Structure 1
Amino acid sequence: MLDNEANNWGRLIKYHRQRQGLRQDDVAVGICTPSYLSRIENGVVLAEQTVYEMLFNRVGIDLNHEKENDEINRSLLETMYAKLLSNESLTENELTRLESLQNESFHQEIDLQAALVYSRYLCSIDVLNEARVLLEKIGPLINWHQDRVTQMFIGITTNVHLSFLEFQQIILREEKHNVSNYINSAHRFEQANYFYHLAFAHHRNYSFQQALDYIDRATQVFSHQYKPLFQLKLYSMKGVILNDLHRYQDALVEFEAGQDLLENVPTIQTPRQWSSLYNNIAYCYECQGSFSKAMSYYEQANSFEEDMHLVINWIRASYQQRDKETLTKLFLTYPKERFEVPHHRYQFLLLKCASEEEITIAQLKDVEELVFPYFKKQEYYSLTLYYAPLWARLYEELRAYKQANICLTYAFTASEQVRLRMSS
């Protein structure tokens, strides 16, 4: 009998004893001492198989039936968890079964697994706050061993942190506690998912070399598995990281591999995947100063799936290309009201103001005081590094050198933060 299974039986005996209002003396009589039963229930000792059978019989539970039922439920939960990790939807029957397994008191390991899978399901439908509350209840019960509950908890909490844009929490947990050691015995796809998420977190934290190291680990662990959508994510993420390391040709190689995969695997050919890939290619060309190519790819990306993030990128590339005709068309088609995400709306204000034929110092200052403190607070260093020097140049053209210096200070501060994170 496995240790965690025996501990589980101890918790189950305690649960059924308490539900029936029985004292430890009542259950233990003729089998063991009450103190020994207490240690069994609390997982302090592991008893003989026959002892567990007699104790289960005393509380009216068939141990063999319980084992069989647990095995069926465990297999079902693993199937559902694998589907959720692969971005597949659960069937109505699976969801009904998953909901029926929810239990307010986690008296068995299977209850913890059911709650974890349910929290991952909530993430998949963007019910994030409810998922977080459930995970906070589970957290104190995690033993932090190389067991299935711990592995699921690591994967799911990492996913929630990403959903809340809590990148440093993911990084610090791994650096302080090496939680990846707990998933060494998990399925290779789960390990690859975790390393991919670490790469994503480091990339968003501007620690690009660490991000590259983790995406390479994810790729290595994932090798020889057929999951095209995840393979596409690996190509795209590595390309994005290489682009931010200014390794543009290497980045394009990854994006081309992703494009080849998309063209040959119909099951992953969705507008979102095409749009995301073309957006990444466009940004790579934009970073190289090939603004005309960037505009073309941003336009193609938006034709697959209209996305205001793509639109603002398209406007920015058009501004850098000095393509007034395209800019005018885009400003008319996509007015400020259509941008709901704050940093999209602020970029729109910056680009619209910068495109005006005549700009006053007062106009520049109004936009500056609204936008740059927000970029600083949200740690949008890459946006500051692009727009602050632009604003400084516009101030200089109007001989407002003091204001230009303030904007250059924004850019210097942002560059120092990026430098520190890249060297950490």
Structure 2
Amino acid sequence: MNIGQLIKLERQRQNMKQEYLASGICVPSYLSRIENGLVIPSEDIQQHLLKRLNVPLDALNNDGDEAKLSYFKSLFKSVINSRDKQKAKSLYQDVHIYIEEHPFEPNRLTLLVMETRLMLMLPEYSSEVQSNVSILEEFKKEMNTEQLFYLSTIQGILAYLNNNFRESSEIFTQIFTLIKSYRMEDWEMAELYYISSLSFLSEARFIISIDYVKAALSYFNQEILIERSIECLIILGIAQKSTGVLHEAVTTFEKAKEISSKLESSKFNRKIEHNLGASHSLLKNHDQALIHFQNSLNESSNSEDNLITIVNILKEYHKISDSQNAITWLRKGYDLLEHLPDKNRDFFANHLAVYQAVLLDNSDFLNIFKNALKYFESKQEYKYCSVYSFVLAKKLAEYKQYKQATIYYDLGFNYHLKQLKITSWEELV
């Protein structure tokens, strides 16, 4: 990076306007030309700009500390592989201090993408991530393939965290194209495969998710990164369950459970038990499903996690026409609903309201279903819209309201097409 780019990068890091930096030194348009590499500033102007930025004058003579960068990269690999938040925070602080003390370090962009990637692992810095990303985007033309790889990875993760799954998948697809002619290290590829598998899983692209998570799993198994292997097995099992290979999904979750039992931590138990319950439910092994759902409840004290499982238990009892137990779990769901924060309450309240209308034969069932459909449509949860439209249509037909039933059967089919992202009938052929 040339002197102008380094000045621009440091100015932006300090959140300083061009007008303020240029004031009394040069006109802002001239500073803009310096920052864009169109002119080389005189030594006098350089010194005044550095002083305004509170940068030592000898910073320009910094040749870079390759040993320090190599040390940071080694720790970075360990942090990403282990997902250890304590190590991530310690490394983030070390990198951040080094950047502040060496503002014109030639490896500044590499250090900045490393710092930003670490911030993504630390919730307390989440509000600052976008500021770093905005700065980095200004320097994309100056980046090498490795730096572009990390910047794009950060952008893909941000899109995923914001539930923009299609955008996230597109970014990760572009990353694989970007690095096609560049040899990334095995641990970097494993992390890319892992994150990409999550993104594609969320977009219901299960086959590619399975391929990617198997590639990540192979590396984590080889390196004996047990927790990362369990994470991969859970993703693999969910993708298998979603594609209908249910016996394989059960085998995968049982394997994850076996490995998890050897850990001192029980952090994966709830998720594994819940997914075993869901898999057995689809296999119509209702007794097994209920056992695993109950095990899942026993493993968690989180109200939202427990409410997810309670709704599944309620569904299971309803499927086997055990209305008494279904109503019992419906009431448990409503009791737990009060402990949820407002932002999450509506999602579960609408699910429970639908089951209450079905189980207790509520006379206002039509408005209850309409409100639920309106809510889930607003959240683009078309799967629930489709299912509850069909349930409503069936209930209307039972009351001999055939015209209304036809409307909701049609609506349910349209929601199903939206869920599949189908826009024309030709795509069905």
Does TM-score exceed 0.5, indicating one fold?
yes
- Say if 2:333 and 2:352, in contact at 8 Å, map to a contact too: no
Q: CA deviation at 1:401?
A: 2.4
1:169 alignment counterpart: 167
1:375 alignment counterpart: 376
1:287 alignment counterpart: 282
Q: CA deviation at 1:224?
A: 1.6
How many Å separate the matches in 2 of 1:13 and 1:384? 53
How many Å separate the matches in 2 of 1:420 and 1:15? 42
Q: CA deviation at 1:301?
A: 0.6
Equivalent residue letter for 2:408: C
Percent identity of equivalent pairs: 11
- Say if 2:270 and 2:299, in contact at 8 Å, map to a contact too: yes
- Say if 2:392 and 2:405, in contact at 8 Å, map to a contact too: yes
The superposition leaves residues 58-104 of structure 1 with CA deviations (integer Å, 9 ceiling, x where unpaired) of: x63595x7433x53155225514641553202357545424424559
2:271 alignment counterpart: 276
2:116 alignment counterpart: 119
- Say if 1:298 and 1:310, in contact at 8 Å, map to a contact too: yes
How many Å separate the matches in 2 of 1:146 and 1:217? 25
Structure 1 residue aligned with 2:350, among 346, 350, 363? Answer: 346
- Say if 1:146 and 1:185, in contact at 8 Å, map to a contact too: no
1:89 is the counterpart of 2:72: no
2:15 alignment counterpart: none
Equivalent residue letter for 2:121: S
- Say if 1:319 and 1:327, in contact at 8 Å, map to a contact too: yes
1:324 is the counterpart of 2:323: yes
- Say if 2:311 and 2:333, in contact at 8 Å, map to a contact too: no
- Unaligned runs of 5+ residues in structure 1 are 1-6, 24-34, 43-58
Q: Which moved more, 1:159-168 or 1:140-149?
A: 140-149
How many Å separate the matches in 1 of 2:9 and 2:378? 49
Structure 1 residue aligned with 2:229, among 228, 231, 248? Answer: 231
1:359 is the counterpart of 2:362: yes
SS class of match (1:322): coil
Counting matched residue pairs gives 380
- Say if 1:278 and 1:298, in contact at 8 Å, map to a contact too: yes
1:53 alignment counterpart: none
2:67 alignment counterpart: 71
How many Å separate the matches in 1 of 2:2 and 2:67? 13
1:302 alignment counterpart: 297
SS class of match (1:261): helix
- Say if 1:239 and 1:251, in contact at 8 Å, map to a contact too: yes
How many Å separate the matches in 2 of 1:187 and 1:328? 54
The superposition leaves residues 308-351 of structure 1 with CA deviations (integer Å, 9 ceiling, x where unpaired) of: 22222222223223333433333333324345524323212212
- Say if 1:196 and 1:214, in contact at 8 Å, map to a contact too: yes
1:136 alignment counterpart: 134
How many Å separate the matches in 1 of 2:375 and 2:146? 42
2:54 alignment counterpart: none
Give the direction of change, closer, same or farther, for the CA distance of 1:84–1:218 in structure 2 (3 Å limit): closer
How many Å separate the matches in 1 of 2:377 and 2:269? 32
- Say if 2:220 and 2:228, in contact at 8 Å, map to a contact too: no
Normalised by the length of structure 2, the TM-score is: 0.75
How many Å separate the matches in 2 of 1:11 and 1:74? 23
How many Å separate the matches in 2 of 1:179 and 1:106? 32
Equivalent residue letter for 2:412: A
1:204 is the counterpart of 2:202: yes
How many Å separate the matches in 2 of 1:94 and 1:176? 29
1:411 alignment counterpart: 412
Tell which has more relative contact order, 1 or 2 (C-alpha 8 A, sep 6+): 1
Equivalent residue letter for 2:222: H
- Say if 1:74 and 1:110, in contact at 8 Å, map to a contact too: no
The superposition leaves residues 185-210 of structure 1 with CA deviations (integer Å, 9 ceiling, x where unpaired) of: 33323222222222222222222223
The superposition leaves residues 329-377 of structure 1 with CA deviations (integer Å, 9 ceiling, x where unpaired) of: 3333332434552432321221222211x332xx222122212133234
Matches within 5 A, 1:246-257: 246-257=244-255
Give the direction of change, closer, same or farther, for the CA distance of 1:171–1:229 in structure 2 (3 Å limit): same
